[in-house]
Amino acid sequence: MGHLIGKDIYRKLGKKIDNLSTRAPWSDALYAVLRELFSTEEADVFIKMPYGLSTLDRIAKIIKYEGAKLKKILDNLSSKGLIMDLHLNGDYQYMPSPLFVGIFEFTMMRTGDRLNTKEWAEFFHAYALQTIKDNVSLLTPQILDEINQIIVQAGHDLMLKNKHDKLKGSCDSFVVETDVHYPTDTNLLFDAMRKMISLIAIICSEIGITEWRQSNHNILKVKRLLRGIQKLKRSTSKDGAKKIQRDKFIVREHQNYIDVCQSFVLKAKETIRILRELRILSLSQDLRLNAVEEYIRHAERQIDQIRRRVIFDEKISQSLNRIPSGLARVKPAYRKS
């Protein structure tokens, strides 16, 4: 129950900050930032504060806090860069700081030996990145088409003196060759394994667990298996026995690839279970562990698809599973004009 109440007050705090001079859309990443910077008592004071500059007496009357106690909370909020305090007309006045420009800048400008600056930076980075992703995801094909039509029409209005004139144009273009990473199920599995192993190895290293100290070797092992099956080709021989033998070899190599990947997935799951039981992770490490679990789900999906496609020889009519964000580094050829 206390957890629900705590999260609810941070949700209200996020709404308050979102209503300040710069927007701050709500997300789990913002919740992590606010929980790290504000105590529940500080959050309650921030929520109830007036939006504009106000004296201590005025704030005390509005939020019904005793003066000395409120002064201590406001001073603490001010020292952390979470509110602004200005000395005007012989008295201090306070007002809430927006997330940008305000809390972010003042928080990261603080100095001292016991400040979690690195962890704060990770939280802010995660929030900024998630906000961009959330905003871009709102751009549906229909909205993009409307934007395109508006831009084209604006160009016509700019270039045409008479609306009945025909707009003529020409362009010169050329194709730039790039290193293409095709999103097949086998290399998407490697991408998921690479991220899963590297992330969980970093977390274990930070807390002194040596279980994943050979992470680079493990990633190279998976990569060599991937390179091996990428070079495999079906037999073109007219000898049926040779074709069958070649097909069995291809199946064995794919089975070996997914068996090795599955063993690392099981090891990662066991490590996660141990880390959760120990309850020694910081908030940043816990968020990264959530990302590891997401990569595990991607890996298991690709293992299942490879098993069905190659081992069981199923005909998978649907297109390749959705490419997970942050996995496939796809760099298609593009045209410059």
User: How do the domains of the chain map onto residue ranges?
Assistant: 2-127, 185-335
pLDDT of residue 179: 53
Mean pLDDT computed over every residue of the chain: 81
Q: Are 207 and 238 in contact (CB under 8 A)?
A: no
User: Percentage of the chain surpassing pLDDT 90?
Assistant: 28
- 75-109 confidence digits (pLDDT tens): 888 888 888 888 887 888 998 888 877 777 767 66
323 or 260, higher pLDDT:
260
pTM for this predicted structure: 0.47
Q: Quick count: other Cβ atoms within 10 Å of Cβ 95?
A: 16
Rounded to 5 degrees, what angle do the CA atoms 239, 243, 247 make?
Answer: 170
Q: Are 335 and 175 in contact (CB under 8 A)?
A: yes
Fold classification of 2-127 (topology level): Arc Repressor Mutant, subunit A (1.10.10)
Give the span between the Cα atoms of 322 and 334, in whole angstroms: 22
Q: Quick count: other Cβ atoms within 10 Å of Cβ 114?
A: 4
Averaged over 264-280, what is the pLDDT? 92
Three-class DSSP category at 181 = coil
Beta-bridge partners for 94: 54, 85
Write down the residue that tokens 């063993």 correspond to.
263
Q: Which two tokens stand for residue 149?
A: 């039509």
pLDDT of residue 331: 42
The helix or strand, by DSSP H or E, that contains position 132, with its residue range, turns out to be helix 117-137
pLDDT of residue 265: 96
pLDDT of residue 111: 63
> Phi/psi of residue 47, each to 5°?
-60, -40
pLDDT of residue 25: 78
- 195-249 confidence digits (pLDDT tens): 999 999 999 998 888 889 999 999 999 999 999 998 888 878 888 888 889 889 9
pLDDT of residue 17: 85
CA-wise closest residue to 93 among 42, 43, 127, 56: 56
pLDDT of residue 259: 95
pLDDT of residue 194: 94
pLDDT of residue 87: 83
Q: Are 204 and 212 in contact (CB under 8 A)?
A: yes
- 20-58 confidence digits (pLDDT tens): 877 777 777 788 888 888 888 999 999 999 988 889 989
